[in-house]
Structure 1
């Protein structure tokens, strides 16, 4: 009979070490790609792209520090933080929706998603992703086998997820609202909820999303572009077409770091929204393969 290995406090498994290495590699790769794509971006005579890259570096450092801090905490303590974190998130999500808070949450590109608290400018919906997962995990742990019941198990999840996603949807931000529902549903599913409940709720969610897409012109245009990416007659189609041109121009090995042409006015937000196209152009098929492989490894390890 062999004894089980003893794991000392603070000892990291090889999966954890590899996950940390993959995360760090993706961060460095992303910042380097952003730097190459943003080097020529100017706004009002200043290099706006480089400011964006600088913020990404600061964000990576702060995020890494918070990651190390959180990893040293007993995860059972998150149960105590679940409700306070959720309530703070809901309060922050309300700020962009109030008419007298425009100085704190101005409209940007037709939406009020950002909140300026002086020292930090951020989207409350980003915090909502963490708050929803922590709260759902806490409630699932507390409910136990009751998650298989609709009224006492599933209904509380629906109420909270509906409230948070509605506040995000009103900003408007359909993609993050949908993601919030998916995150909460994933926690509920792994907790043992009935498949029938998911089929019913999933059908209702699909109808709601379809309604939101149908009634908003730019969302409908994006859906049509997604279904027919070869149509370059619309603005959204033109952007997709230019991103595909970037991929095609890169070939196998790419045009070289910082040597891409699509960022010269052809591709909007080449250093952020369309960064993957920039990677395909400057780093080629090999660069794209490495990024996809690393993200796949990240998902498998996580």
Structure 2
């Protein structure tokens, strides 16, 4: 509303309608996710490829082991084959089999009866009474990162999953790997969150990694200390992973020319094995990494199984 007053200007009044923020909104710190979401096996069921990719990338960034099915039929095939999950996110609106029907089918499978299910819907807010007993919580699309995070933590807390599967998760991240395959690891990663997630996973395997944030720091680190493995991010400031790898390969190549005279680098004649890490892997990335001299390749967010396999190949 405009109230005009000659020689005094105008006063404007307006109203803004906003939604109140829930007083019980979650305030779980990111470190909580890194310690309690790591290793949790998540099933995602959504017919939309973009939704599947977003959910998969985000949850894997928190250390979860996410697997995405494009239909209820595909998800049921995995479950009937004996594959087990700690949690599932199911889209409500899917062709052939909707989320409600899929939830019922899942809970008819003996080993899935207590599997917590989260409904994903774009049809406004769904009342709890409409959800019934099949779903622990619901999420409205588009899903905000904070909402997804809070929902996962709340459901896991309610189901006490964070306590129940400790032995199961520990078995997947057994420190026997570090006992059977002792490795000195250098992690080259500039993203702080990725650093924390990766080091937490490695710690649960029994490894302690030194951390650097760019290729130049990698080159400095290997001059000070011998490493068996370098987990090398491709995209880093100052010097990226590809260039750092080329420099390392060149250094060791030059070293080999003098090896006959007994020269060595930091007391070691063995070049560290370089494992590339890259997000949003594109066709040809693997070939580019191998061409630069890298020995192996894993995608980000880090898959625990993929990392374990890569480390085992270092033996």
Q: Normalized per residue, which structure has more strand? A: 2
Q: Normalized per residue, which structure has more helix? A: 1
Give the TM-score taking structure 1 as reference length: 0.25
Structure with the greater relative contact order (CA < 8 A, sep ≥ 6): 1 or 2?
Answer: 1
Question: Whose radius of gyration is greater, 1 or 2?
Answer: 2
